[in-house]
Structures are given as structure tokens and as C-alpha cells.
């Protein structure tokens, strides 16, 4: 039996380097994810996702593989949110496709009874759609602020 995984593909009308920068720069992620990401972006480096005001860690991980601006593989640990589950893995793959950037996000290595999988299955489409709006029109979707307010942030 294979382990569960989540795969999402989105096309963004922005240069590949710009999409990469949006995924790896806190000044960008805070707009469409409502999380401030920070890391040294080297294999073995810690990746921290802080609340928008940088007051509290939301989740973190470790860079497993990095090939800017093409591929990033990292662990995804939500224990800071109180979820007792081993870290999963997120892989970002970017490629130039007919004037756009194709971004494939694969989130896998969940335990069979994962509580994280159902949560990210709704979260990734919202985050990536908001990122697409942010990069293409200069403003994230309103859903980003609505999610932040729903979490009491």
C-alpha cells in the first residue's frame, strides 16, 4: 500500500525566478500565506514559518534539497501547532512553460492516519491561488486575510 500524498499544479504568469523568490522570501510569503518564512536556504538549514507579526512559530522544517530556482525539498513539521505527527515532506518543482511558470507542489510522507493531510488538502489550494494573484496582479486574494482573522491573528 502506498502512503497518501497531495499534489497540486498551478501555472503562474510570472518569471520562474520571481515565483521562487515568492516562495522563499518572508516579505512575499506574508502577503499570500500570512506566514513569514525564513531560512538560510542551504541543505540541512532550518526553515521557520512565523505568524505574520513574527510573534510565534507556526510550523517549521529542514531543507533536504535545493536547486534554485527549480526545486526545493523540505520537511514540514506542525508540532508547534500542537499536532502530534511526524514531519511530512514538501517538494516544490518549478519550470518554464510557454511564458508562464509551472509550479508543482507535492506534499507526502504522511502516516496512514494523518491529521495533517486533510488540513493541507484545503490549505495548499488557497495559499497557491493567493500566491498566483499576488504575483500576477500585485495583491493576494481576500481569502488570505479571512484565513488570518479566522485563526485569531
Mean pLDDT calculated for residue range 30-52: 94
pLDDT for position 100: 97
Q: How many CB atoms lie within 10 A of CB 107?
A: 22
User: Looking at beta carbons, which pairs linking 125-128 to residues 24 or more positions away fall under 8 Å?
Assistant: 125/8, 127/32, 127/33, 128/8, 128/10, 128/103
| Residue 85 falls inside a structural domain | yes
- In terms of residue numbers, what domain contains 92? 16-150
| Residue 7 falls inside a structural domain | no
pLDDT in tens, 102-150: 999 999 999 988 999 998 998 999 999 999 999 999 988 887 766 766 6
pTM: 0.90
pLDDT in tens, 77-102: 998 888 889 999 999 999 999 999 99
With bands split at pLDDT 50, 70 and 90, how would you rate the model's confidence at 1?
Answer: very low
Residue count of the chain? 153
pLDDT for position 142: 81
| Residue 3 falls inside a structural domain | no
| Residue 1 falls inside a structural domain | no
Amino acid at each position: 500500500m502506498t502512503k497518501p500524498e497531495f499534489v497540486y499544479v498551478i501555472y503562474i504568469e510570472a518569471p520562474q525566478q520571481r515565483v521562487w523568490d515568492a516562495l522563499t522570501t518572508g516579505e512575499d510569503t506574508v502577503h499570500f500565506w500570512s506566514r513569514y518564512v525564513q531560512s538560510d536556504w542551504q541543505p540541512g538549514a532550518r526553515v521557520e514559518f512565523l505568524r505574520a507579526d513574527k510573534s510565534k512559530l507556526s510550523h517549521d522544517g529542514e531543507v533536504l534539497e535545493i536547486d534554485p530556482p527549480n526545486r526545493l525539498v523540505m520537511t514540514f513539521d506542525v508540532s508547534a501547532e500542537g499536532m502530534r505527527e511526524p514531519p511530512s515532506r514538501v517538494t516544490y518543482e518549478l519550470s518554464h512553460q510557454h511564458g508562464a511558470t509551472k509550479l508543482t507542489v507535492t506534499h507526502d510522507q504522511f502516516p496512514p492516519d494523518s491529521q495533517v493531510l486533510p488540513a493541507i488538502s484545503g490549505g495548499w489550494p488557497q495559499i497557491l491561488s493567493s500566491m498566483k494573484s499576488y504575483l500576477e496582479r500585485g495583491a493576494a486574494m481576500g481569502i488570505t486575510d479571512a484565513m488570518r482573522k479566522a485563526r485569531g491573528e
